[in-house]
Each structure stands twice: as structure tokens, then as C-alpha cells.
Amino acid sequence: MSEQPKLSQDAIALLRRVQARILAKPQQLDMAGWVSGMIFSYREPFRRLAANPECGTTACIAGWILIEAGITEIPRASSIGNAATKCLGMQGDYDDIDLFFASDWPEDLCYRTHVSSSDQAMAEIAAEAIDRWIEGDGCFLDNE
């Protein structure tokens, strides 16, 4: 009997929407933080982004998962990763989701993030990471 896939078709569709957004607005991708402006406060930047995704606020892949899933409120900053994990239908803690941290991406992608010189290049790398993560059914096959 074959193992059930980890990623549902809904999760894949959600990731494809995130991927399209990242490629369309590469300047709004920032893998260094959940949502920009969250150093002192996380609720207001997230609400602003949820209310108007075109406002210029940046987010990482997990942040964009929440926006694309229609989430408008988060109880605390660390909940972004866990909420995004839940939106993907995955079990466990967000620390287990290697897609959420560029440092956990396959070595070639991780290296390219360090030498990328533009928002567009970083968006293309992130889009490739999403492709590979979907291909690995919720993990990077290169990292196993």
C-alpha cells in the first residue's frame, strides 16, 4: 500500500498562488522575517498586509501563505509559522518545515540566495524552492 501524500491538492494550489505572487511582486519577498515591521509590533504590519497585499509590506513564504489563505489575524509573531504549517495541512511545528527557512533549502538554492543580487533573482530562487518542495511532497528530497 502506498503512503498517502503529505500535501493535499489545496495545499499545492495555495503554494502555487504564493509562488505566482512572489514572481509578480519580487520586491515583497523577504526571507529574513515573517512580515516586515515586526521587530516591535507584529499585529499591525500583518493586519496592514492582510488588508492590502499591495501596500509594499514584505513577507517570507510563510507570511504569504497566510495572506493567500485569507488569514487576517495572528495571536503572536511566532504563530505565523505554525499557522502557515496548518494552512498547508502539515503536522508538527513550523521549525520542521524546511521551506520556511532559506538556510534549510537544498545547498545549491541556499548558495544562490547568498549571491543573488536582485529581488527578481531571489524570487526566482524561492519559486524554484517551492517547485522542489512540492515535488518532494512537503520536503526537499535533496536534504534527506
Dihedral, CA of residue 88, residue 123, residue 112 and residue 142, to nearest 10: 20
- Amino acid 73: pLDDT: 75
Q: Are 44 and 123 in contact (CB under 8 A)?
A: no
Q: Would you state the pLDDT for residue 44?
A: 62
Domain ranges of the chain: 9-136
pLDDT per residue as tens digits for the range 49-70: 666 666 667 788 998 998 899 8
Q: Which amino acid makes up residue 135?
A: E
pLDDT score for 95: 81
What is the share, in percent, of the chain residues with pLDDT greater than 90?
49
| HEC letters along 76-134 | CCCHHHHHHHHHCCCCCCHHHCHHHCHHHCCHHHHHHHHHCCCHHHHHHHHHHHHHHHH
The mean of the pLDDT values for the chain is: 83
Q: What is residue 2's predicted lDDT score, i.e. its pLDDT?
A: 43
Residue 89 is predicted with a pLDDT of 93
Q: Assess whether pLDDT exceeds 50 at residue 22.
A: yes
Better-predicted residue by pLDDT, 74 or 121: 121
40, 46 contact by CB (below 8 A): no
